[in-house]
Amino acid sequence: MTTLVIYCGTWNLSPCPLLLFHLMERRVREAMKQETEPLLIPGKKKTFKPTGKKILQSLENMIVMTTPDPLRREFPRNLKVPERLFRLAGIEPEVYLQVRENP
């Protein structure tokens, strides 16, 4: 299984981000076919076919805190990490916590 890494910042309409956007939407929708519970998306709506836009909106408010260790980040304790959405998209939540040593 490949791992999809998505940066949820500002998206322009160049082909690569648009391709990743649709790939993530497809992955989540395909995974939802095996689910019995709908996904809760922004607007407090439940769906088995979330759009790419709603998926990204679900990740918009992700907060990552720095730690004394410059190579480590963590989620705030009061943040509800959308682990189910990450799993459906094939993304590990730790992707937000990884720090490259030499950018």
Mean pLDDT, residues 15-24 taken together: 79
Backbone phi and psi for residue 71, each to the nearest 5 degrees, phi listed first: -100, 15
The string of pLDDT tens digits covering residues 57-86 is 888 888 888 888 888 888 888 888 888 999
Dump strand ranges (E) for 1-103: 39-41, 45-47, 65-66, 73-74
**Dist CA 48 CA 23 (whole Å):** 16
Cβ atoms of 71 and 41 closer than 8 Å = no
**Residues 1-9, mean pLDDT to the nearest whole number:** 45
- Per domain, the residue ranges of the chain are 15-96
**What pLDDT, on the 0 to 100 scale, is given for residue 1?**
39
pLDDT value at position 88? 94
